[in-house]
């Protein structure tokens, strides 16, 4: 007889077998969602995943459910990444979902509309958030595949329109499971720089599945957080993604993005040449008009009279200048004559002029001028000042009679 074990032991053993199977720890399942329940308290998703013949219970815990860009609905076809195990308490075989993707155009469109409505409600698409592109950017950030056609289209347009443009390229995968994380990282790297004027996110055409990564919520939020304008250039003109609505500008193709961002320097130069020519024509026309008006005015009597006025004023000025000059010369001559008379008078009063004629000045020892003979006595010392030098002498005799000299 077989060994008797408890239900708990059975469930525990089956769970250990399932958990130890390396194939069942990470598998991808395709199926249709049914019996979906979004547990409002825990945030966990509970549902059944079924195909045409079978079904399996599934649970997606809150930590994984919060990362989804859409909310599953009954009837939606999905692909889930999960592990297979057993809920030991109830003995229920189920899958534990870690990620989920819409499968098929209907499911993808439903997920797209759900995310679009939620982000629009949050204001990520608001027109007031849209920023205008700079008219003449100096450096452009570029998020795209370094081997794809998109980067070649952008570079070709740039060489034609603005050959000296500087790019900062963040190469990324533009499709696949790891593409979203790489694109978000590229946004963060470029947003940390302060030398960029605009960021272009570009990818060439492809199927809706190929372009689905640009509907990722994390990419939308990274673009919204950028401090410079973002241009979305994903796929062709008929392709739309969530990034198109968040970006400041949507370009129908990568080539169109380059044309919208890069100024056409040759066209601007041509416009400047035309403006220069128009300005020259306008100025020449103005000069000709002024010349004709001046020539017409020169022939009228008022202008001729006005033209003669400076000549009359010049002659009057010359007459007045001559009169002033004559008056100045007269005053100079009068002043010169008066000065000569005063100089002659002063010369007669100059004691040195008297001395030059043979006279002398006699002073006593104290330097006092002697005028009379009775002012000195025999034996006094005197100094006699001549026109050239002086004589020291002693008085021998005083004669008061001038005629005895």
Per residue in 274-309, pLDDT (tens digit) is 888 888 888 988 888 888 877 777 677 666 666 677
Do 230 and 201 meet the contact criterion of CB atoms below 8 Å apart?
Answer: yes
Task: Convert the pLDDT of each residue in 106-133 to its tens digit.
Answer: 777 777 888 888 899 999 999 999 999 9
- Name beta bridge partners: 264: none
pLDDT digits (tens, 9 = 90+) for 62-98: 999 988 878 888 988 898 999 999 999 999 999 999 9
In tens, the pLDDT along 28-61 reads: 999 999 999 988 788 899 999 999 899 999 999 9
d(CA 112, CA 70): 7
What is the distance in angstroms between the CA of the first residue and the CA of the last residue of the chain?
193
Our measurement of the distance from residue 2's CA atom to the centroid of its chain's CA atoms, rounded to an integer in Å, reads 85
What would the CATH number be for the domain defined by 125-262?
3.40.50.261
Q: What phi and psi values does residue 161 have, to the nearest 5 degrees?
A: -95, -40
The predicted-structure confidence for 215-232, as pLDDT tens digits, reads as follows 989 999 999 999 999 999
Question: How much is the average pLDDT of 148-153?
Answer: 91
Q: What is the pLDDT of residues 193-211, one digit of tens each?
A: 999 999 999 998 888 878 8
How far, in Å, CA of 372 to CA of 374, rounded?
5
Answer yes or no: is pLDDT of 400 > 80: no
The residue ranges of DSSP E strands in 39-126, in sequence order, are: 45-50, 55-60, 77-87, 92-102
pTM of the model: 0.53
What are the Cα distances from residue 3, in Å, to 6, 10, 15? 10, 12, 19
Share of the chain above pLDDT 90, in %: 41
What is the C-alpha to C-alpha distance for residues 214 and 201, in angstroms, rounded to an integer?
10
Hey, what CATH class is 7-103 in?
Answer: mainly beta
DSSP lists the bridge partners of residue 171 as: 144
- Going through 104-157 in order, the beta strands assigned E by DSSP cover 139-144
pLDDT value at 404 more than 70: no
Query: To the nearest whole percent, how much of the chain has pLDDT over 70?
Result: 95
CA atoms within 13 A on the CB side of 38: 10
């Amino acid at each position: 007889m077989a060994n008797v074990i408890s239900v708990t032991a059975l469930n525990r053993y089956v769970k250990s077998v399932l958990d130890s199977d390396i194939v069942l720890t990470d598998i991808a399942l395709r199926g249709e969602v049914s019996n979906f329940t979004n547990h409002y308290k825990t945030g966990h998703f509970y549902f059944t995943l079924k195909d045409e013949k079978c079904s399996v219970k599934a649970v997606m815990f809150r930590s994984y459910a919060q990362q989804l860009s859409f909310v599953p609905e009954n009837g939606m076809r999905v692909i889930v990444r999960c592990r297979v195990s057993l809920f030991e308490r109830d003995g229920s075989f189920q899958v534990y979902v870690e990620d989920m993707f819409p499968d098929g155009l209907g499911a993808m469109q439903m997920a797209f509309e759900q995310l679009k409505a939620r982000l629009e409600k949050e204001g990520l698409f608001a027109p007031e958030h849209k920023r205008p592109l700079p008219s003449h950017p100096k450096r452009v950030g570029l998020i795209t595949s370094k081997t794809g056609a998109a980067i070649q289209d952008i570079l070709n347009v740039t060489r034609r329109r603005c050959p000296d443009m500087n790019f900062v390229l963040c190469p990324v995968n533009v499709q696949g499971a790891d593409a979203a994380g790489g694109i978000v990282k590229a946004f963060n790297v470029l947003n940390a720089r302060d030398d960029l004027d605009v960021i272009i996110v570009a990818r060439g055409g492809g199927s809706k599945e190929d372009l689905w990564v640009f509907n990722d919520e994390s990419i939308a939020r990274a673009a919204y957080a950028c401090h410079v304008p973002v241009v979305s250039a994903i796929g062709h003109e008929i392709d739309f993604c969530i990034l198109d609505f968040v970006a400041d500008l949507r370009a129908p193709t990568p080539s169109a993005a380059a044309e919208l961002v890069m100024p056409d320097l040759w066209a601007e130069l041509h416009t400047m040449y035309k403006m220069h020519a128009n300005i020259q024509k306008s100025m020449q026309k103005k000069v000709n008009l002024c010349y004709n008006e001046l020539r017409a005015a020169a022939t009228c009597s008022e202008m001729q009279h006005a033209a003669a006025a400076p000549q009359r004023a010049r002659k009057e000025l010359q007459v007045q200048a001559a009169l002033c000059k004559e008056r100045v010369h007269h005053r100079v001559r009068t002043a010169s004559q008066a000065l000569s008379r005063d100089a002659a008078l002063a010369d007669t009063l100059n004691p040195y002029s008297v001395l030059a004629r043979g006279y002398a000045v006699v002073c006593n020892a104290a330097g006092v001028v002697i005028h009379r003979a009775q002012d000195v006595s025999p034996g006094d010392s005197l100094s006699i000042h001549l026109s050239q030098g002086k004589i020291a002498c002693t008085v021998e005799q005083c004669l008061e009679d001038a005629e005895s000299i």
